[in-house]
Every structure is written in structure tokens, then in C-alpha cells.
Structure 1
Amino acid sequence: MTAPTRTIVMTGATRGIGLEAAQDLLRRSPDAHLVVLARAASAAQVLPRLLAVSPHVTAVDVDLASTAGTLDAAAQVEDLLDAGRLPPMRGLVLNAGVHLDSAAHATADGYEKTFAVNVLANHLLLRRLHPHLRTTPARVVVTVSDAHFGDLRHTGGIFPPIRWSTPERLSEPGAHPRPTTGRAGRAAYATSKLAAVYLVHEWARRLPEGVDVVAYNPSLVIGTGLARDAGGASGWLMEHVVPALALTPLADTPPVAGRRLADTVLGTTRAATGSYVHRSRVAPSSDESYDVDREAALWTWLEQAAGA
């Protein structure tokens, strides 16, 4: 077995496309050491599958809904890198995300949970770990979604139109109309994915040359379990309607989407920093996603939430 020469840190690697991508990364990159940031119980379930591919896997416990928990996990990764127990870091995959049944769930820090996990946690990890991406070329990948378009063409009407507000407001439980409903949960998810695209654009301006950050949109994928907590129409559609689309070009299975995520991480899918990768090619994100004022405001709020 080849000794690892680079580290890839990944969230959302314990199920769905993330697990498929993690296995694919290990198969295709025997020189990589994969660090999985996940809750301990989830990591324990999938570690045997990952270790069967490569012995170079480390799990770090994290609660992405907690600012302190996210920063503590990042600090543990830093300690391993600084001590030489991990090879130099070359990749960061921010694939974790939640899609909940309402917009009323609050974290211990008081933030709306969807926004906390899908936006704030990504920023905290990238903020803390990006100085370790010293060996270039290096790549950061943030998983986003068609949901950020908020229109019929891209979401089939599952997600409502996005009503952007200030980051301060969007980070609060109850920010969306009728916050205890599934529709509000879908609005929170779509809005968080638009914010994630803004985050990619802003980080692309700030990372040094040779360190790229790109958004990856898997589009419609069956059998990921993402909507398991969404309830209502989303859960019903994902269970009864979407699986039929697997026989068409409109949807991918987790292995296919996972391989495409791995392609994006490894640079097989070529994409300049700040790009939006739709499945397997660079494409425009929504017209609304190109707003430098919103990007700057989001950055300012995230930095304040990080204690900067």
C-alpha cells in the first residue's frame, strides 16, 4: 500500500453521495489520507467500509450544528497536521447538509439549524483549515443544489421561490413564513444553498492562487436520504416519484453522483475557482446567485458569528 502524501478532509461522508465519493476517492487516490468529519456513531457505521478500501482513514467527531463543536473538530484536524500525523492537506470537501421539516429548529447557539449546518459550519471549517492548504494545487468543494434557483424549471415546484433577507434574519429560527411548516423547511434549505453559492464566490476572491474553491451541484439524485427529515411533499415525492426518474437522464444514482463529486474534488472535472459544477460540467448558477453585495454582507455576518 502506497504511503499517503496528501490529506483530504470531508464532511457528509457517511451516507448517500458523500459515502460513494469517499470510497471512490480512496480507490482512485491511494496516496490520499481521508479525514472524515462526522458524528461518532455515524462514522463508526461506515468506517469498516472505508477501511476495506484503504487503511488511510481517520474519523473526527463533530457536531456541525454547534459552533464550538465545529471549531473543536477543526482544531483536532489542525493538531494532527501540525504534529505530522497527517500528510499535507490538499483537499477540503464540504458535502454535509440538512433538509428539515420546518424552519423553526434552533441550535444551541440560537441559529436556525439549516442555515447553521449548510452555511455557517462550512465557513467555520474553511476559515480554520484553509491555511493548511499550502501544497498546491489544492481544491475546496462545497456541495450545493438546484434548489437555489427556486424556480419550476430547476426544482419541479418542490421548492418555493427564494426570498432573500439579511443574513442576520435568515440565521434566526422562524425567518421564513409559517416557520413550522414543511414549506418553510424547504424555503430554508433552498435559501441556505443560495447562501452556499455566495460563500463560494466570496472565498474564491480571498483564497491564494493555487487554492481553488468550487460549488458542486449533484442535481437530482435518488436514494440519498437527504429528505428523510423533510416530511410533507418532499419526503413523499422522494419516496414515490423521484425513483422512477432513475431510468431517465434527469436523475443520477448515488454511485454516479458520488463519482462525479470525486471527479470535482480530484480536478478530473476542470473548473476555475468560483465555478459552479452542474453534475459533470461547469455551468452558470442562478442569476440571483451573482450578487457581490449579498456576498459581502454574508461574509461580514459569518465573520462576526465566527468571533472575528
Structure 2
Amino acid sequence: MQHTLVMTGASRGIGRVAAEHILRRSPDTHLLLVARGSSGARLAAELSGHTVSHVPADVGSLESVRSAATGIRDRLDRGELPPLRGFVGNAGTQYTDALTESLDGFEATFAVNVLANHLFVRLLQDRFAVPARIVITASDTHFGDLRHNLGMVPGPAWKSPDLLARTGAFPRPHTAAAGRTAYSTSKLAAIHLVHEYARRLPAGIDAVAYNPGFVPGTGLARNAGPVTRFAMRRILPVMTLTPFAIGRRAAGRYLADIVLGTTPAPTGSYVDRSRVARSSEESYDPRREHELWEAAERFTAAYAAGADALSDDVLSGSPRWDRTAPADSGEHDS
């Protein structure tokens, strides 16, 4: 049966590869690309031969996200799109400091990697046709150890969400180290929210976090200096020949596997490349997850105003899975 899949971050890197796999392996998918400027139209043209459309949006602007999500809701309501069965929040960013503000006045990393996805989920949640799946791209940088970060990215430094959402939350905020700390912390926040979505969303709407591992050669370092960009493009890709990194084609294929259900993953789970695994011990904290949910609701409330809201009993729903035990107790890949 034909269905709609909304996807951000499909214009390059693992998202582009995943989009190609999804369309080839699931011909009933209407892939709705959320992309900035003309890149959506260009990508839709490049993926001709499949059912692809696009909606313009800058995920660094919550007003732009609101406009895109509202447009998608309207198209679904008018029957211009088949039933909505999925959302893939693959867009992400990393800055060379922790001082960059989004258009809405939030710290830019937090705005893109956390708040944009949250607003999309909240504005689309009552338009999903079950079964549906939400996939949010996370990162193993949230572990904060040498084994997962290879010493290249500082681990997360959790603070109150009200601090994380503002610039200057980390020591020496003008440095690249602070920017990378903002990145790893935002990816920890993304996992926290996936756990909260699993508690709150109605049965049949699953939420999963996906860790692609270290994927050199993507556009993530586009805001870095010339030396770092050169290393990411020309030197670090050699690491894909080792267990410490993965190529974008494999990472994109794994993402498609999760979206399509080829990789079984219960709601609230963390998929490390090709299998369900356990995220960091720090990532399992119901008190922190609830606090982050409440803060994300406050930060996005003005942009969600006017959209149909879920009833209070749904929003306060109890957990539907046991997060005290890992879904897979096996070791993570490096």
C-alpha cells in the first residue's frame, strides 16, 4: 500500500544513500524530502523514476520547520499524499564553537539536532497512520569515551536544558572543543527524547535512535576550518578500511534497513549500525528525559500553536517497554 515517508538530511551523505535504498526496495514509498533552498527540487529530479516530492525548509529555523510540517499536514488532509507512515530526522550539524545562534535565538547545534526533530514529531504525530516509525539519527559520541570517540570529540557535558539551549553553555565556548561538546551533548539529548517518545506516543508509532558510527567524508564538518575539512574528505576516509569507521554507503544502507523494518527494533531502542544495542548508561535517565521533554515543549510551544494536540491522557501515557534491561547485551562495534 502506498504511503508517505518524510525525511530530512537526504541531500548528501548517508541520507542520500538511504533515500536511494528506500525507493529502490520499497516502491510504494512516496518520499517527501525536507530540504533547504533548491536542493530538494534538485534531489527529487535526480531520484526521478520514483515517487518523490519535496518541501522547502531550513531546519535551523523553527518557524521554517513549522511551515513545512503544517504544509505536510495540509497535504495529507487534502488527500494529496498517501498515509504518513514514517519520519526520518537525519539532518544534523556541528559548529566550531558553542556561540552560534539559530534564527530563533537558540544555540544552533541544539536547535537543529534536538528542537527541529522534536517540532516535526509533535506537529506530525496525529497524522501518522499506524504502524509508523520515527527514526532519529544519533551518534556514538554520546558515550564520551576513547573507544567510541577516538579522542576526536569530547564527551557530552549535560546541564539543564535551559542552559543547553543557549549559547555559551560549555567552558571556553569560542573553541572547537566547545562546539564538539555541544554536538555530543545534543546527540545524547536526541536519545533521551527517543526514550520519551516511546513512553508518550500512541501504540503503533515507534521511535528509534540510529547510530551510524564514525562516517568520514560526509558534510558534518562543513562548518569546520580548512584543515579539518581536508582531513575529513581526504585522509580520514582511509579509516573505513578499519573497524573504527564506516563508509557512507554502508551507513546509508543500515539507515534504510531501520526505516524499512529490515532491522527489527522495538520502540525506544538504539540501533548501532546494523543491530539493536545498548546506548550509554548515562542515556537511561527517566528524570532527565522528562525534564528535557518539558523544556522542548516550552521552547517549541509558540511554533506548535494552532496544531491539533494530542489529548492529555495520551501525552501523560505510561512507558510501554522496560528500559531497565538492554535490548541487546552484546558489545558495541568500534
1:81 is aligned, of 76, 81, 86, to: 76
Q: Which moved more, 1:221-230 or 1:87-96?
A: 221-230
What's 2:223 paired with? 229
SS in 2 for 1:40: coil
Paired residue for 1:129, among 124, 130, 141?
Answer: 124
The structural deviation recorded for 1:148 is 0.9
Given the two structures, how large is their TM-score scaled by the length of structure 2? 0.87
Q: Distance in 2 between matches of 1:305 and 1:61?
A: 22
Paired residues of 1:151 and 1:159 also in contact (CA < 8 A): no
Superposed, 1:113-192 pairs within 5 Å as 113-134=108-129, 136-192=130-186
Q: What runs of 5+ residues in structure 2 fail to find an aligned partner? A: 306-334
Residue identity in the other structure for 1:128:
L
Partner of 2:246: 252
Give distance in 1, aligned partners of 2:43 and 2:195: 32
- Is the aligned partner of 1:107 residue 2:102? yes
Whether 2:276 is the aligned partner of 1:282: answer yes
Aligned to 1:298: 292
- Give the alignment partner of residue 97 of structure 1, picking from 72, 92, 111: 92
Which of 58, 63, 69 in structure 1 is aligned with 2:58?
Answer: 63
CA distance in structure 2 between the partners assigned to 1:251 and 1:85 by the alignment: 41
**CA pair 37-181 structure 1, distance change in 2 beyond 3 A:** same
Change (3 A) 1:284 1:274: same
Q: Percent identity?
A: 54
Q: Matches of 1:119 and 1:14 in 2, distance apart? A: 19
Separation in 1 of the partners of 2:62 and 2:216? 31
Q: CA RMSD in A?
A: 1.5
State how far apart, in whole Å, the 2-side matches of 1:237 and 1:183 are: 17
- Check the 8 A contact 1:214/1:275 in 2, yes or no: yes
2:85–2:131 contact (8 Å) kept in structure 1: yes
Query: How many angstroms does 1:177 deviate by?
Result: 1.1
Aligned to 1:194: 188
Match of 2:9 among 9, 12, 30: 12
Aligned residues: 302
Tell me if structure 2 keeps the 8 A contact 1:61–1:73: yes
- Rounded Cα–Cα distance in structure 2 between residues aligned with 1:233 and 1:47: 33
Q: CA deviation at 1:232?
A: 7.8
User: Structure 1 residues 70, 146: closer, same or farther in 2, change over 3 A?
Assistant: same
Of residues 22, 40, 43, the one that matches 1:43 is 40
Give how far 1:236 is off: 5.6
CA offsets 1:85-113 (integer angstroms, 9 cap, x no match):
00000111010000111111111211000
Aligned-pair CA distance for 1:124: 0.2
Secondary structure class of the residue paired with 1:18: helix
Gaps of 5+ in 1: none
Question: Counterpart of 2:31 in 1: which secondary structure?
Answer: strand
Which string of whole-angstrom CA distances, capped at 9 and with x for unpartnered residues, describes residues 36-72 of structure 1?
01112222332222124x1x11110011111111111
User: Do structure 1's residue 220 and structure 2's residue 214 form an aligned pair?
Assistant: yes
Distance 1:157 1:256 in 2: 23
Cα deviation, residue 141, structure 1: 0.2
